[in-house]
């Protein structure tokens, strides 16, 4: 049975096996280069490797389950054989999740939180796998068309609470669950910033560990005026530090090395600050 408490660190590394992902589009579509990339991320300290075969970038066209399975399966089985880092499969399809879990993945990262495929939660429960439920408004093809919320934090938290309950009702263990506000999925820049600003409130509301995925996303490009996603890792790192400082359990990033180093330094400073407080209090 998978439990998040057994995961060794706070950094999930992105392994996209898609020809059209916005952030590293097509670079790792050949299985051998995706496997090599995943092993590199493991070496850089990724605690989870997130393998995806369908692009979720705004406007992306869906792919069928067979295509997705053909992309991710060889990568998952080879990575599972080579490194000892848990693998998540980034998919909304139960058939893909099922195949990936049989091939060595132990976590399903579902950007639809079980709303895209009625079989998904049952497959995850049956395998005793970990599950990430993410908030998305609409679907990738249309999600950035004028998104509107009355209160984005309340609405995202409410959706996640409801989907986590559905996951529990399907038999997924509480300590196998993680929630994700879905930065960039049907949200404006202001929505994304408001969600990041309200992380402690969101974490308290959902009651399970929270994953945050800001890596290389468009809202960062707008803030720093950088059209090239692969040149947004420094901007990403600011959000990584922000999210970990405000209680996120995990960040999903392309630049694993940077995030692992930032997390290590944050940890050292947190320990020093606890020690200092103890010293001052016993004076
Ligand atoms: N973002 C992307 C894909 N999958 N999964 C989770 N849980 N959270 C995210 O923020 C998220 C995701 C899109 O970006 P990519 O092209 O970098 O994979």
Q: What does the alpha-carbon distance between residue 180 and residue 35 come to, in Å, rounded to a whole number?
A: 26
Q: How many Å lie between the centroid of ligand 1 and the Cα of residue 108?
A: 13
pLDDT in tens, 214-238: 999 999 999 999 999 999 999 999 9
Give the residue from 42, 25, 55 showing the smallest Cα distance to 229: 25
Q: What does the alpha-carbon distance between residue 193 and residue 167 come to, in Å, rounded to a whole number?
A: 28
Which CATH topology does 4-281 take? TIM Barrel (3.20.20)
Task: Give the three-class secondary structure for 103.
Answer: helix
Give the residue from 82, 79, 83, 90 showing the smallest Cα distance to 52: 90
Q: How many Å lie between the centroid of ligand 1 and the Cα of residue 112?
A: 11
Report, as ranges of residue numbers, the positions in the chain whose pLDDT lies below 50. none
Residue 177, CA distances (Å) to 26, 69, 118, 169, 258 in order: 30, 24, 18, 12, 26
Beta bridge mates, 90: 52, 109
Q: How many Å lie between the centroid of ligand 1 and the Cα of residue 280?
A: 43
Considering the entire predicted model, what is its pTM?
Answer: 0.95
The whole-number pLDDT of residue 87 equals 98
Positions marked catalytic: 217, 252
* Phi, psi angles (nearest 5°) of residue 115: -90, -20
Size of the chain, expressed as the number of residues it contains: 283
Nearest CA, atom 8, ligand 1 = 213
Determine if ligand 1 sits within 6 Å of the CB of residue 187: no
CB 40 within 8 A of CB 257: no
The whole-number pLDDT of residue 142 equals 79
- Ligand 1 atom nearest residue 180's Cα: 7
Beta bridge mates, 11: 251
The whole-number pLDDT of residue 61 equals 80
Determine if ligand 1 sits within 6 Å of the CB of residue 28: no
């Amino acid at each position: 049975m998978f439990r998040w408490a057994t995961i060794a660190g706070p950094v999930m590394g992105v392994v996209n096996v898609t020809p059209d992902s916005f952030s590293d589009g097509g670079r790792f579509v050949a299985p051998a280069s995706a496997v090599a990339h995943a092993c590199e991320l493991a070496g850089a300290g990724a605690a989870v490797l997130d393998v995806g075969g369908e692009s979720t970038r705004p406007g992306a066209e869906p792919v069928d389950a067979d295509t997705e399975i053909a992309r991710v399966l060889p990568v998952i089985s080879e990575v599972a054989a080579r490194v000892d880092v848990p693998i998540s499969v980034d998919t909304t399809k139960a058939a893909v999740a099922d195949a990936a879990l049989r091939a060595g993945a132990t976590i399903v990262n579902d950007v639809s939180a079980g709303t895209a495929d009625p079989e998904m939660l049952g497959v995850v429960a049956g395998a005793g796998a970990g599950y990430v439920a993410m908030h998305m408004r609409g679907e990738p093809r249309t999600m950035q068309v004028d998104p509107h919320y009355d209160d984005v934090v309340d609405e995202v938290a409410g959706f996640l609470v409801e989907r986590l309950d559905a996951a529990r009702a399907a038999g997924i263990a509480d300590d196998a669950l993680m929630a994700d506000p879905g930065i960039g999925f049907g949200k404006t820049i202001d929505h994304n910033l408001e969600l990041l600003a309200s992380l402690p409130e969101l974490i308290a509301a959902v009651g399970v560990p929270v994953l945050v995925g800001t890596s290389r996303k468009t809202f960062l490009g707008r803030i720093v005026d950088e059209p090239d996603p692969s040149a947004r890792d420094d901007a990403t790192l600011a959000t990584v530090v922000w999210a970990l400082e405000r209680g996120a359990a995990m960040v999903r990033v392309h630049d694993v090395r940077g995030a692992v180093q930032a997390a290590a330094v944050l940890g050292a400073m947190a320990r020093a600050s606890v020690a200092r407080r103890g010293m001052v209090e016993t004076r």
